[in-house]
């Protein structure tokens, strides 16, 4: 069950409010309502997801669980908490800082690794996948 289906069945009024807020007319059937929510997210992205989160039927429970987890969570060092967001912005900042430091007068410039893997590497990977697949087939 997707979040859209869950929202449409557990909180149909909230789902209708989300769809109506984007200028669409919401349907009463939960299956169509779920598809309309998915289309809103495809068209409007983060704004639609934010609206769904605000109207989520279990919002209070999720909020309460997150607060309890934060209270019981031991203090972490900044190095261990780098992956705390979905986009990894902290890691991106650290990489940029390292690149900037590397461009200093007494240091070496980091090479860009924009090259694609060679054909030999690609063939080796394909061959390995074929061998593993063949082994699995023969094992059965």
* 65-76 confidence digits (pLDDT tens): 878 777 776 665
Percent with pLDDT over 90 in the chain? 4
Flag whether pLDDT at 91 surpasses 80.
no
Angle, CA of 41, 44 and 50, to the nearest 5°:
65
Flag whether pLDDT at 12 surpasses 60.
yes
The Cα–Cα gap between 26 and 70 comes to 37
The Cα–Cα gap between 96 and 76 comes to 23
Under a CB-based contact definition with an 8 Å cutoff, are residues 126 and 137 in contact? Answer: no
pLDDT band for position 84 (50/70/90)?
A: low
Under a CB-based contact definition with an 8 Å cutoff, are residues 82 and 95 in contact? Answer: no
**The whole model's pTM is what?**
0.47
Amino acid 108: pLDDT: 46
| Average pLDDT of every residue of the chain | 77
The Cα–Cα gap between 12 and 27 comes to 10
Flag whether pLDDT at 120 surpasses 70.
yes
- Concatenating the DSSP letter of every residue in 41-66 gives HHHHTHHHHHHHHHT-TTHHHHHHHH
The Cα–Cα gap between 127 and 117 comes to 15
Looking at residues 121-140, what average pLDDT do you find? 84
Under a CB-based contact definition with an 8 Å cutoff, are residues 8 and 33 in contact? Answer: yes
Amino acid 1: pLDDT: 84
């Amino acid at each position: 069950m997707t979040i859209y289906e869950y929202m449409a069945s557990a909180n149909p009024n909230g789902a209708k409010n989300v769809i109506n807020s984007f200028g669409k007319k919401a349907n009463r059937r939960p299956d169509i309502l779920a598809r309309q929510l998915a289309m809103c997210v495809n068209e409007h992205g983060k704004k639609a997801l934010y609206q769904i989160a605000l109207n989520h039927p279990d919002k209070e429970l999720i909020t309460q669980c997150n607060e309890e987890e934060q209270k019981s969570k031991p203090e972490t060092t900044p190095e261990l908490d780098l992956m705390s967001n979905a986009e990894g912005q902290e890691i991106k900042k650290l990489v940029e800082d390292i690149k900037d430091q590397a461009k200093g007068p007494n240091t070496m410039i980091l090479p860009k690794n924009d090259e694609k893997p060679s054909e030999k590497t690609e063939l080796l990977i394909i061959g390995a996948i074929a061998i593993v697949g063949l082994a699995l087939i023969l094992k059965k």
